[in-house]
Amino acid sequence: MHTEDLVVVGGAGGFIGGHLVGELLRRGAGNVRAVDVKPLSEWYQSFEETDRRQLDLRDLAACREAVEGAGLVYNLAADMGGMGFIENHKALCMLSVLINTHLLMASRDAGVERFFFASSACVYADYKQTSAEVTALKEEDAYPAMPEDGYGWEKLFSERMCRHFQEDFGIAARVGRYHNVYGPHGTYDGGREKAPAAICRKIAEAKLSGLHEIEIWGDGEQTRSFMFIDDCLEGTRRLTESEVAEPLNIGSNELVTINELVSIVEGIAGISVKRRYDLGAPQGVRGRNSDNTLIQERLGWQPAIGLEQGLEQTYRWVYDQVAHRQSSAALVG
């Protein structure tokens, strides 16, 4: 794409979308349209030099307005959150299928050349993720299909929609399967936060209160890999600009338990906390990790930012937000 071409980012008011808009601007994109369903005051990051629009992309007319004149569309818009949200809001997660379907239809009619869809590791079959000592997930493991109920099914269906729009209508569709993206300028409380942000918030609150105790969902031995936002942006750019038409994992292969995640954040915060385990809380699959063989073969790249390095930045940002909120509440009180 040329710097003067219009680039549209759906979900620009969200965590990854906001970072993506900033990255596009830093790379010289001079014509960016940022779209989100939330009011501008609720966007995590907002850039005045972009064409910012509040649109509900579940609606086809809104999608037509969003992509008019665009050459490249990034679809990061979805109703989603961490495990506590997606396990209890399956219908809302499924309704995001309208976003990708209508964006593809509008993009086809508007002559959009290239389309990126943000999929998820939740497309992978549950029966391959029943052990904490999980075998890293290859792209082929999405079939036979048995994804995360609700959210995972929507993502897998939308991947197929991208594939068939490419086959039938010539849109160069690219699909990245994100694995647990984290970093600053995202959700860290309220029920939609994911594990890294939630742990950072809980430890920040423990440090500020002096009550060094936190709650952990499950027994803490479930395993995951977590990818820092900068790696996510780089992988997204490389895949979008490539000629790779198949879905690719975009995720770290640094596997850790949730207990190990807590220990890393404890070290960053400089405190130790007592851990209370809620065995009845939503936990998701027992283990999940990214196999990066295919992305290394196709793009010569894989995420490289270590978990401790990324968590350092994330914790500092979350701590500042929590401290500011508590300070403001004290002033009001």
Amino acid code (one letter) for 109: D
Burial of 241 (0-12, 13-18, 19+ CB in 10 A): middle
Q: Are 196 and 240 in contact (CB under 8 A)?
A: no
- Candidates 151, 178, 182, 315; catalytic one: 151
| Main-chain phi, psi angles of 38, to 5 degrees | -75, 150
DSSP string for residues in 83-144:
HHHHTT-HHHHHTTHHHHHHHHHHHHHHT--EEEEEEEGGGS-GGG--SSSPPPBPGGGG-S
| 151 is a catalytic site residue | yes
| Helix residue spans in the chain (DSSP H) | 15-26, 60-67, 83-86, 90-94, 97-110, 151-169, 195-209, 229-241, 258-269, 293-299, 307-332
Q: Are 242 and 298 in contact (CB under 8 A)?
A: yes
Q: Extract the tokens encoding 235.
A: 């992988």
Annotated catalytic residues are: 151
